[in-house]
Amino acid sequence: RRGKGNAIIVEILFTGDPDVRFVTDLSENHNFNSAIEKIDSVVELLPYHLNDNNIPNDLSEAVYKYDIESGRWRLNSVLVGQKKISLTKKG
């Protein structure tokens, strides 16, 4: 590790319909471990997240990013065809 930036960005991809991607680049071990542990609960809630009225039915990918402030995974963007739709301010 050199410099002040985060050395590693981790992406975990679950393929299916839709593909679900988890992205994190946390530098603190505690936050990183917490993020990885919480993926399981998000996967269980996917049907509820993706059935929201604001989410298109024909999406091909959902991207979650870990929010350090709340300690939760947030649905950051979705891909519908070739169009990316950002769902959060940080997207």
pLDDT in tens, 37-84: 999 999 898 888 888 777 788 889 999 999 989 999 999 999 998 899
Rounded Cα–Cα distance for residues 1 and 6 (Å): 8
Does residue 88 belong to any structural domain of this protein?
no
DSSP 28-50: SHHHHHHHHHHHHHHHHHHHHHH
Enclosing domain of residue 75: 10-80
The reply to whether 90 falls in a domain is no
Domain count, the chain: 1
DSSP code of 91?
-
Domain presence at residue 17: yes
Residue 63 domain flag? yes
pTM of the entire predicted model? 0.80
DSSP summary character for residue 51: T
User: Residue 21: which CATH number?
Assistant: 3.30.2010
Distance CA 68, CA 72 (A): 7
CB 77 within 8 A of CB 63: yes
